[in-house]
Amino acid sequence: MSPEDWYRFKDVSGLQMAPDGSAVAYLVTTYDKESDESRSALWLADWSGRRDWPLTRGASVSEPRFSPDGRRVSFLSAGNARGSTQLWSVDLRGGPPRRLSHVSGEIVSYEWSPDSRHVVLVVRAGEDSSADGRPLRTPRPLVIDAYHFKEDRRGYLTAEARSHLYLLDVRSGVSETLTSDPTREDSLPAFSPDGRTIAYVSNPMTGPEGAGTDEIRLIAPTPGARPQTLLSDWSPNHQKLEWSADGTLLAFLQGDELKYNAYIMDHLAVAEVKSGRVRPLTAGLDRAVVSPGFAADGCAIQFAVEDDGTQYPAQVRLADGVIERLAGPTVVNELVTAAGHTAVLASDDRRPFEVFALEAGKLRRLSAHNRALFEELALGSVEDIAFTSRDGTAIHGQVVKPPGFVSGRRYPTIVWIHGGPNGQDDHSLLLESYGPQLERQLFATNGYLVLAVNYRGGTGRGAQFARGILADWGHLEVEDLEAGIDSLIAQGIADPARLAVGGWSYGALLTDYLIASDTRFKAAISGAGSGDQVATYGSDEYVVEYDAELGPPWKSTDLWLKVSYPFFHADRIRTPTLFLGGDQDFDVPIGGGEQMYQALRTLGVPTQLIVYPGEHHLLDRPSFLVDRYARYLAWMDRYLRISDSDSAHSR
């Protein structure tokens, strides 16, 4: 695998099911070398699997939905102009896409009414936009009054930039305001089956008193209607509201109390719409659930379960709470169901995510956008590993061996650390701009042995495992990573003289922690990380987590300095380190990498800083993605000095 292969990857996402179960719609994102842009096209596949075809070409689209009458597929797009994102639809009987909305600001999501006559829009106005959504020639000052006041890609969360609900009449194109409270942000609407009620999430923005909670509200789809609060609960990682077919229940995802904000495992619950009484459904599972949806018979809710290197499809029966696995070990990250049919996006160690039908516990392929490319590539083998950390805790992970791996040889070894810390390394190939599983193969196919450790703080092994690093960052995770390295050395496959480490986001934080704790690494890559956590307070988007878990720096100064030891003990670092990041990153701002780079330059440790202009936490520009991976390989080769015999065995 080479960095240039990125231009050939096709990322499949955004899965949706036709109301009658006859077809699925989804997005295919490609990376164009000539324009240096990524573009997402809308595709349709029939349930038989005999045919799939594009519904859009040219302009990039997002958020596909079938209209409830099944006649069209809608999507969001800015079209070929540089105006705001609007709602479009394409008639499945033929004809070009048609624009449905003409609102100012940006439409960020939406849902159809059951009669297909209306759409509830989630609109973000934006301070620096004119009535037609175009940028103003002279921007205005940003007035900020929110507690959580900035977010990657969105920027500063001013009152004008908060999202609210609008009701669109599809026939006339007229949109009317449903919610407008400037102290709140409204999102994730869902129509009741009878079309008389919209459930949505509303979050207070101005102070810490409502931070980390989802207030689920109900409102009639009538301008001027007053919302009613159904319930309030801790915010999950990825909220989703789903009505039962009879309109009596609302399914939603629950998070956890604020101090566990970084270690949330989403759990499924249902609320009785009349009383607001909540019934947890998966609290006893001790695993995170993803992408819930009611089964066709209404007797169960289907979802995916994150579990120790896999993410399998399952369902919970409403009558007795019994949870049933729907398929064997696999990695499923989206699941949709309609008319008795279930479709998923699934991946494994050798194929990226594609669309599959899930039938009687088996997966049947409906798309194959990456088949030709990945049949050409000789990938490394991925094997599960288990070992014991310093305190006796059992730790799991994967090792990726180079193609042509020879038993008895020791290989230059890279510890590649997943971000989060929530989440996990699993048996998938993710083609997004940060896909650690794909990056592991990039290194392995170029002759390296790659270690992936599901360290404590990750969410694939239950709540206690995830919360083990609460307010103690860079301690147990480092011990877990060190134990994994020692295990591979003891097995005789890792070369102790040629070790390297790297990662992105929290993987970069752990890289900084590791090289400040252990001098045996010959090279390191730290992408979008930080070593001085004190400097992140107020400069990134995680104030809710910091105040709840660590306490403010003026109250917990010693603790903040403790978790900032890579910067304040940078003089312990001997490892040549490559720092990278986007200059528009509000998730882990580039200042974190700049500080560590400056420290190593001051100390005379070989280092380099790569800044990607206009990029956020995850890179978008295809040429930058290719550049990043080329730099990864060059940096590792420079300091690990991979030999001809190593690379020969990888071919």
Cβ neighbours for 268, distance < 8 A, ≥ 6 positions apart: 251, 252, 253, 254, 280, 281, 282, 289, 292, 301, 303, 316
Q: Structure tokens of 211? A: 């931070």
3-state secondary structure of 317: strand
pLDDT tens by residue, 589-625: 999 999 999 999 999 999 999 999 999 999 999 999 9
Report yes or no: 553 and 563 within 8 Å, Cβ to Cβ.
Answer: no
| Residue 310 or residue 82, greater confidence | 310
Q: Could you tell me which of 166, 156, 212 has the C-alpha nearest to residue 187? A: 166
% helix, strand, coil for the chain, step of 5 = 20, 35, 45
Give residue for tokens 């100064």: 557
CA distances from 493 to 243, 303, 324, 437, 647 (A): 52, 39, 39, 20, 15
Mean pLDDT of 499-507: 97
Q: How far is C-alpha 219 from the chain's CA centre? A: 30
- Distance separating alpha carbons of residues 218 and 188, to the nearest angstrom: 12
- Distance separating alpha carbons of residues 190 and 249, to the nearest angstrom: 12
Mean pLDDT of 336-353: 94
Give residue for tokens 């090289």: 515
Q: Could you tell me which of 235, 236, 241, 244 has the C-alpha nearest to residue 217? A: 241
User: 45-54 long-range contacts, Cβ below 8 Å, gap at least 24?
Assistant: 45/355, 45/366, 45/367, 46/22, 47/21, 47/22, 47/23, 47/341, 47/357, 47/366, 49/357, 49/364, 49/365, 49/366, 52/355, 52/366, 52/367, 54/28
Helix axes 436-444, 622-640, angle to 10 degrees: 50
Give the pLDDT score at 647. Answer: 53
Question: Is residue 233 predicted with pLDDT exceeding 80?
Answer: yes
pLDDT tens by residue, 551-586: 999 999 999 999 999 999 999 999 999 999 999 999
For 257, other C-beta atoms within 10 Å of its C-beta total 11
Give residue for tokens 């989630």: 122
Give the pLDDT score at 642. Answer: 63
Report whether the peptide linkage leading into residue 576 is cis, meaning its omega lies within 30 degrees of zero: no
Q: Could you tell me which of 252, 286, 255 has the C-alpha nearest to residue 269? A: 252
Phi, psi of 493 (to 5 degrees): -110, -25
| Residue 643 or residue 165, greater confidence | 165
3-state secondary structure of 592: helix
- Distance separating alpha carbons of residues 329 and 305, to the nearest angstrom: 11
216: β partners: 201, 231
Q: Which amino acid is at 457?
A: G
| Residue 208 or residue 395, greater confidence | 395
- Distance separating alpha carbons of residues 607 and 631, to the nearest angstrom: 13
Q: Could you tell me which of 371, 425, 369, 358 has the C-alpha nearest to residue 395? A: 425
Enter the pTM of the model.
Answer: 0.94
Cβ neighbours for 608, distance < 8 A, ≥ 6 positions apart: 578, 579, 597, 635
pLDDT tens by residue, 277-311: 999 999 899 999 999 999 988 999 999 999 999 99
Report yes or no: 553 and 562 within 8 Å, Cβ to Cβ.
Answer: no
Question: Is residue 127 predicted with pLDDT exceeding 70?
Answer: no
Q: pLDDT class for 332, splitting at 50, 70, 90?
A: very high
Give the pLDDT score at 177. Answer: 95
Q: Structure tokens of 643? A: 């030999």
DSSP code for 68: T
- Distance separating alpha carbons of residues 19 and 312, to the nearest angstrom: 24
- Distance separating alpha carbons of residues 405 and 486, to the nearest angstrom: 19
Q: Which amino acid is at 263?
A: Y
Report yes or no: 90 and 56 within 8 Å, Cβ to Cβ.
Answer: yes
Mean pLDDT of 163-180: 95
Q: Decide: residue 265, CB within 10 A, 0-12 exposed, 13-18 middle, 19+ buried.
A: buried
Distance from the first to the final alpha carbon of the chain: 10
pLDDT tens by residue, 451-472: 999 999 999 999 999 999 999 9
Give the pLDDT score at 650. Answer: 46
Question: Is residue 82 predicted with pLDDT exceeding 80?
Answer: no
DSSP characters for 237-284?
SS---EE-TTSSEEEEEE---GGGGGG---EEEEEETTT--EEESSGG
Mean pLDDT of 318-341: 92
Q: Which domains does the chain have, with CATH numbers?
A: 240-339 (2.120.10.30), 378-650 (3.40.50.1820)
The length of the chain in residues reads 651
Greatest CA separation for the chain: 74
DSSP characters for 136-184?
PSSPPPPP---SS-EETTTEE--GGGSEEEEEEETTT--EEES---TTE
Kindly report the average pLDDT of the chain as a whole number.
93
Give the pLDDT score at 397. Answer: 97
Question: Is residue 651 predicted with pLDDT exceeding 50?
Answer: no
Phi, psi of 499 (to 5 degrees): -115, 145
